[in-house]
Structure 1
Amino acid sequence: MRQAMGSWTAISCSCCQMDSIQTLAVIQLRPNIKPEAKQWLMALLEAPATIGGPHILVHPGEDNEGHILLLSATECLLLQATEHLGYAKMDCHGFMRTFCYSSRTNFLHSDKRELFLSLSEQQFLLKYVVENLKVQAETYIPGYPDCILYPGQHVVHLLQKLKIVVKFYPLHDKPRLDSLKTRWYAQLNLAPQPIDAICSYFGESVAFYFDFLGYFTVSLMSMMLLSYFCAFFQDSLDKYVVFALFNILWSTITMEFWKRHSCVQAYFWGTLQWKSYLKPCRVQFRGTLTKNAITGKWELYYPPWKRVLRVLFVTLPIVCLFLGLTVDGMLIFLYWEKWAQDQYHKSNQFFATIMLYLPSVIHTFFMEILNALYKKTAAALTEWENHKHESTFQNYLTVKVLLFRFLNCFGLLFYITFYLQDVHLLKKRLSSLLIVSQTINQVNEFLLPYLQQKLKVGFKSQVGTNPFIDEVVSDGDLPSFSGLFDDYMELFVQFGYVSLFSCVYPFTAALLILNNITEIRTDAFKLCQVFQKPFPEAADSIGIWQVAFEMLGYFSVITNCFLISISPEVQAFCEEYEVGPESFLLYMLGAECEVFQLIKNDFIQANCGCLQKGEFEL
């Protein structure tokens, strides 16, 4: 989406002169925006660097309503932001080093913007500059005399809160997007995902998700092969012992290999040691405008003790209420399951056979509905708690949802495993969860977005006199991308099923592989065509989810060791050698901890060896 200079901001820097400018992002103002307010915002954005301005390139948009601003940036502005955020780039000797603007000639392709900075990096850096545009002196918004801005306030953030800025979003590059779609999901093949191309277009955060999704799917191949090998055993529980031992090693080695792989990716993407920039407070944050006694700047303040009271006396009881509903659902399932078993044994009719599987199916639907209701409730509660920064908001929301999902998805399975010790019921419950939940997810992940896309194409408005602006507005009319939280949560549940309980249902891995092959394409389709392009976010790993997956690895040690200890073969062995089942379980846990620690030490030594050789040193 390149345009001739035309109405763009004049470029004062001689080294940044260009024949055409690529639009990187769009600010959409309210439809009835006062012309003087629009001109004031444009003047703030394009203020030259000589007077402390950001010197962002701005185009008035020239749409029919007059409420579109097109944004871009000069090469110097992007390079200075690259240094400020601590990105690493390849120098002329082929080493990744932290970029320095004053010595930019020592870095490869630093004079060629398109080669030096990917589209995602340019849009991320532009967003950083725009978000950090601050008011230098107390003023008011022209045309809105009641809207006063104080020194140090973030301009775009405040305009979003006042609903003067309605949307702020990046633009798609249609030729690059079409090329990426062809390589990514448009062709029906099993070729590896173009992770580097995804990173260049959507940013490191999205690339890490799809990289982990593909890595997790490939890692399941070994478990699927073992399940087919175990199928040749007689119909007894001896294969569960083999599979449980494999699960323990698999869950540990998989995450250790992933940590090393993610470090390598972050190194070559230049984010291994990047600095997390200070973000303004959330648009939804509410508080009293006060003057900071230390910095002397005006800022919103909300007493922390009020937030603590809200968490203790409102959030906590509601979370406990949902946890109680989860437990009630488990008890009803167990009661109904016992009744269905009794009916099946009394009468072997077709209706009794259907009733035998009905409790598991209905309870799975109940779980999915409760998950959806709780997710909305948790988001509303976290919003009401009034957290100042987006990172804090996401952390509190993640903890709430993780706690509930862990109990809702795994609580009944743990009860069947440790209390009832019913391997056959555990197998039946796990198979029902996988089949029903994956079917529901596929409908939500593929069928609904596909129908939504078809309806959007069918009702597409007529093209106006300016096709470029019409395309810009069309991109903004798409629904906002909700983030990767739900996608990671789905992987978290999958990882729990396969690492904790798959020894009783070895075909878990095969079902998940089939689901994830489809998942990759449906997620890619939604990201490219259904939603607005999200602003790229720099990342050096999958973040807090790494800890969540590793915690499941620790739980898998306990669960699989216990399943081994209750198998008939092990119990017969204990009776023969007069060893108590509890003692055998303790021996298993102790031996597994030793093996677990040895594996981690080996990986740590291997990583240290790579660092000593300079493979990852910036």
Structure 2
Amino acid sequence: MKMGMELEAARSVVDEKLLFVKVHMPWDMLCTYAEVLHIKMPIQPNDLCTTSSPFNFLSCITKHFYPSEDLIAKETEYFTAPFEKDRLEYFYVKDRDLFFTPSMRSRMAYYILSRAPYEVRGNIKKFGVTKLLDGGVYKAAYPLHDCRFNVRSKEDECPNERYLLYNEWAHPKSFYKMQPLDLIRKYYGEKIGIYFAWLGFYTAMLALAAIVGLGCFIYGYTTQETSTWSKEVCDPLIGGNIVMCPQCDKECTYWRLNSTCESSKVSIKLCIFDNYGTLVFAVFMAIWVTVFLEFWKRYQAELEYEWDTVEFLEQEEQPRPEYEAKCNHERINPVTRAKEKVPYTACGRCIRVSLGIGTVLFWIVLILASVVAIIVYRLAVFFSFSTRLQSDLKELEPFKEYVTAQMATSVTASVISFVVIMVLNILYERVAIWITDFELPRTKTDYENSLTLKMFLFQFVNYYSSCFYIAFAKGKVVGYPGQPVYLLGKYRNEECDPGGCLIELTTQLTVIMGGKAIWNNIQEVLLWMKNLIFRYCTRVGSEKVIPRWEQDYQLQPIGKLGLFYEYLEMVIQFGFVTLFVASFPLAPVLALVNNLFEIRVDAWKIITQFRRMVPEKAQDIGAWQPILQGVAILAVASNAMIIAFTSDMIPRLVYYWSFSVYPYGDHSSHTMQGYINNTLSVFDIQDFSNKSQPLQTPYWFNNSTTCRYRDFRYPPGHHRQYEYSIYYWHVIAAKMAFIIVVEHIVYLTKFVLSYVIPDVPYTVREQIKREKYLSQVILHETNLKLVTKRLKPMYSIHVLITLINMN
């Protein structure tokens, strides 16, 4: 009240012990703080002609996919300038009650409440409603919704924007409509608006990737039966006569290659994902992610201009109340050379940052330790399965059970990995917030950027480490049957499934992506049930009318981090879609379906389940933008390495073009026949060590002296037996050449696209120049003329006095 606010108290109609304090800002105070916060207000309507779209002829069709203009009218575009109280007559003021929007009023009110002092003890000054909320003096502080979400207000002066947003945006019947972004921004502020704009743009771009990915999957599915190598595996005369070496020590036994086909169809399934269409799709996605980021920057620039956030960071960012409360040290400002208060010295800042970095690194090491623990679990469980199945060796094909055991181990390990990921997320979230609070960033943008970097770095390692292990480590360092490699000196290193590690990577991605989506939906349902129970417990008789502020109190409070978790969820999904898309072309399809629901669920949630958020300005998506760019760069190398080292595409190409030409044949004589036999090396069973010698052998093994294993090594009897063959080095050279060529081509294309596509559209640049010119003319040159007029009489008097003195 000392700062100029008007307060009104009202007792609750539900709980008499509860008191509501309503805050109102008079016109003069609004003008003062609009100038303090450099809020841009209209000075005149936009007089630049907008270019018509070449697709206007489709408006008769596309209009059905937009919110009704009869309900949500298109807003008039204005040129704006930072508000100045002394020059009010130059701003476009039609109605004082409507000049400042409710979101602007709420933001100014919160700015004052977060800085208003309430207690002074010696040199310690306490201020801010945040402190009072933490201390329990107040239970909540929030702006009011304008009406009920499902009932239009009967008052003519009520704008009913919440009702319109629910019907035209959050209601399930409007799932096919475009989002009313201007109304979202007007009601919730720019920060909420930019999130939904980004989510909608990302989902629209996913539609193209999903179509291409689905086409790639269909191509693999329709051509799976024509695969020569899969036919050879399942052929009883080829795969049935190839005896494979045991895949673990002692308990495992010999098995026939075609048993994998009969038991799990691994080879057939592999062809669905491991085909030439996947290579094309991986390159396409590398280009797609560049186009997505470049066009998003253009679209973001348009929103920055339309929503008056072009110069937001330079003008409006104010220190956080938590930062200002601890400013006990003085320093010389390097720009103004004046003394200013800061919360810590340079040495203190260094200590805080170092402690934060050390804590983050400790948790990353903890995640890697959990990945190693899961690897040990996989080895131990598979060993246990193998021991239990010793009694089944009399069966004709004992490896069928081993394949089942391997698949069961893989699926259970994926589920356990997901559970560990979710538990570590909960723990680290609190640690990351504590570290960021301890670092004490100056502004809210700095705070969010610091927390974003910590959380994403942790989530990146947490979610993707197991996928990177399967893609690039599993089955790569296993030795050969006579001399296997052991983990921790006890467990024999994992080998890939008979069909390769690509299928297992696909399984891991499916479990994590699907489990994460299911968990998020469970949380949404629990939130709805919590609100429903709370409203049921606090309901009153029909004779009592619950006022607007008390209805909003019954809703859930929005967290301190606001949309942070929504961004984090989508960026993690973006990583799955781009980093490992070479192993799972259906990832964009799943992401598209999830996001179509995510947009409406998020909209329904903030409109019906949450109190109205304090509107905040935001110029862009913040620290998420460079994170997305970093993921896009990493995705090129990741997918190239998956195709080169995880799939069998390069070995097949090398065999097709180098080792499969019939004598005197032309180009058409290239064939994939004999590929399976070429990829399997020979091992003499007499070279088994005592540690790895199988305890039992199936009766059909007869007097065989050799078995086969997946590798490119010289056979026994060769002067370099069990060393890598020349074919192995050909394949390695081809893999490295493939990675280098693909990366250079894609990175060059990305560079060209980023150069050709400007970040700011030409029309937006012209409008920004026009706005700055008008601001200069209307607010500054007009003022200059007034000063000049005042100086002219003084100049005339000075001349007259001079002439008199001369006389």
| TM-score, scaled relative to structure 1 | 0.79
2: distance between equivalents of 1:372 and 1:450?
Answer: 21
Compared with structure 1, are the counterparts of its residues 220 and 87 closer, same or farther at alpha carbon in structure 2 (3 Å cutoff)?
Answer: same
Deviations 1:550-601 (A, max 9, x none): 1111111211222343454444445647763213321222222211110000
Matches within 5 A, 1:447-526: 447-462=525-540, 467=545, 470-476=547-553, 478-482=555-559, 483-526=562-605
**In terms of mean alpha carbon deviation, does 226-235 or 196-205 score higher?**
226-235
AA in 2 matched with 1:198? I
AA in 1 matched with 2:638? T
2: distance between equivalents of 1:423 and 1:417?
Answer: 7
Q: Shift in Å at residue 122 of structure 1?
A: 2.3
1: distance between equivalents of 2:161 and 2:752?
Answer: 46
Compared with structure 1, are the counterparts of its residues 594 and 193 closer, same or farther at alpha carbon in structure 2 (3 Å cutoff)?
Answer: same
Query: Is 1:171 aligned with 2:156?
Result: no
2: distance between equivalents of 1:288 and 1:132?
Answer: 14
2: distance between equivalents of 1:364 and 1:88?
Answer: 47
Q: Shift in Å at residue 245 of structure 1?
A: 0.6
1: distance between equivalents of 2:374 and 2:541?
Answer: 56
Selected match of 1:587 from 733, 741, 749: 741
CA contact (8 A) 1:340 1:356 kept: no
Compared with structure 1, are the counterparts of its residues 593 and 115 closer, same or farther at alpha carbon in structure 2 (3 Å cutoff)?
Answer: same
Structure 1 vs Structure 2 CA RMSD: 3.6
Could you tell me which residue of structure 2 aligns to residue 266 of structure 1? 304
What SS does the corresponding residue of 1:45 show, helix, strand or coil? coil
CA contact (8 A) 2:573 2:591 kept: yes
Selected match of 2:316 from 268, 277, 291: 277
1: distance between equivalents of 2:450 and 2:338?
Answer: 30
Could you tell me which residue of structure 2 aligns to residue 327 of structure 1? 368
What SS does the corresponding residue of 1:71 show, helix, strand or coil? strand
Compared with structure 1, are the counterparts of its residues 303 and 434 closer, same or farther at alpha carbon in structure 2 (3 Å cutoff)?
Answer: same
Could you tell me which residue of structure 1 aligns to residue 684 of structure 2? none
Matches within 5 A, 1:17-28: none
Q: Shift in Å at residue 505 of structure 1?
A: 1.1
Query: Is 1:555 aligned with 2:513?
Result: no
Could you tell me which residue of structure 1 aligns to residue 456 of structure 2? 402
Could you tell me which residue of structure 1 aligns to residue 760 of structure 2? 607
Q: Shift in Å at residue 132 of structure 1?
A: 5.3
Could you tell me which residue of structure 2 aligns to residue 8 of structure 1? none
2: distance between equivalents of 1:239 and 1:477?
Answer: 53
AA in 2 matched with 1:504? S
Could you tell me which residue of structure 2 aligns to residue 247 of structure 1? 285
**In terms of mean alpha carbon deviation, does 281-290 or 231-240 score higher?**
281-290
CA contact (8 A) 1:500 1:559 kept: yes
CA contact (8 A) 1:45 1:130 kept: no
**In terms of mean alpha carbon deviation, does 570-579 or 84-93 score higher?**
570-579
Compared with structure 1, are the counterparts of its residues 298 and 585 closer, same or farther at alpha carbon in structure 2 (3 Å cutoff)?
Answer: closer
CA contact (8 A) 2:40 2:83 kept: no
2: distance between equivalents of 1:367 and 1:149?
Answer: 46
Q: Shift in Å at residue 58 of structure 1?
A: 3.3
Query: Is 1:219 aligned with 2:258?
Result: no
Compared with structure 1, are the counterparts of its residues 293 and 592 closer, same or farther at alpha carbon in structure 2 (3 Å cutoff)?
Answer: closer
Query: Is 1:542 aligned with 2:528?
Result: no
Compared with structure 1, are the counterparts of its residues 503 and 459 closer, same or farther at alpha carbon in structure 2 (3 Å cutoff)?
Answer: same
Compared with structure 1, are the counterparts of its residues 242 and 278 closer, same or farther at alpha carbon in structure 2 (3 Å cutoff)?
Answer: closer
1: distance between equivalents of 2:535 and 2:130?
Answer: 33
AA in 2 matched with 1:459? C
Compared with structure 1, are the counterparts of its residues 300 and 263 closer, same or farther at alpha carbon in structure 2 (3 Å cutoff)?
Answer: closer
2: distance between equivalents of 1:297 and 1:160?
Answer: 32
What SS does the corresponding residue of 2:582 show, helix, strand or coil? helix
Deviations 1:60-115 (A, max 9, x none): 4466669543222234543454444344444434152324445555544x222465
CA contact (8 A) 1:85 1:277 kept: yes
What SS does the corresponding residue of 1:502 show, helix, strand or coil? coil
Q: Shift in Å at residue 287 of structure 1?
A: 4.5
Deviations 1:3-48 (A, max 9, x none): xxxxxxxxxxxxxxxxxxxxxxxxxxxxxxxxxxxxxxx2x032xx
Could you tell me which residue of structure 2 aligns to residue 111 of structure 1? 94
Compared with structure 1, are the counterparts of its residues 609 and 293 closer, same or farther at alpha carbon in structure 2 (3 Å cutoff)?
Answer: closer
| TM-score, scaled relative to structure 2 | 0.61
Selected match of 2:7 from 58, 62, 67: 58
2: distance between equivalents of 1:252 and 1:595?
Answer: 9
CA contact (8 A) 2:170 2:604 kept: yes
Q: Shift in Å at residue 449 of structure 1?
A: 0.9
Matches within 5 A, 1:76-95: 76-94=28-46, 95=78
Matches within 5 A, 1:149-188: 167-174=140-147, 175-188=160-173
What SS does the corresponding residue of 1:170 show, helix, strand or coil? coil
Compared with structure 1, are the counterparts of its residues 114 and 239 closer, same or farther at alpha carbon in structure 2 (3 Å cutoff)?
Answer: farther
Compared with structure 1, are the counterparts of its residues 305 and 228 closer, same or farther at alpha carbon in structure 2 (3 Å cutoff)?
Answer: same
Query: Is 1:126 aligned with 2:109?
Result: yes
CA contact (8 A) 1:83 1:98 kept: no
The alignment-based identity, stated in percent, is 21
What SS does the corresponding residue of 1:59 show, helix, strand or coil? strand
AA in 1 matched with 2:8? H
AA in 2 matched with 1:365? V
Could you tell me which residue of structure 2 aligns to residue 32 of structure 1? none
Could you tell me which residue of structure 2 aligns to residue 362 of structure 1? 416
Compared with structure 1, are the counterparts of its residues 105 and 187 closer, same or farther at alpha carbon in structure 2 (3 Å cutoff)?
Answer: farther
What SS does the corresponding residue of 2:300 show, helix, strand or coil? helix
Matches within 5 A, 1:417-432: 417-420=471-474, 422-432=501-511
Selected match of 1:532 from 595, 600, 611: 611
Q: Shift in Å at residue 317 of structure 1?
A: 4.6
Q: Shift in Å at residue 167 of structure 1?
A: 4.2
Matches within 5 A, 1:128-147: 128-131=111-114, 147=121
Q: Shift in Å at residue 407 of structure 1?
A: 0.7
CA contact (8 A) 1:161 1:284 kept: no
Compared with structure 1, are the counterparts of its residues 148 and 390 closer, same or farther at alpha carbon in structure 2 (3 Å cutoff)?
Answer: farther
2: distance between equivalents of 1:340 and 1:475?
Answer: 53
What SS does the corresponding residue of 2:179 show, helix, strand or coil? coil
Q: Shift in Å at residue 268 of structure 1?
A: 1.0
Query: Is 1:229 aligned with 2:215?
Result: yes
2: distance between equivalents of 1:83 and 1:288?
Answer: 25
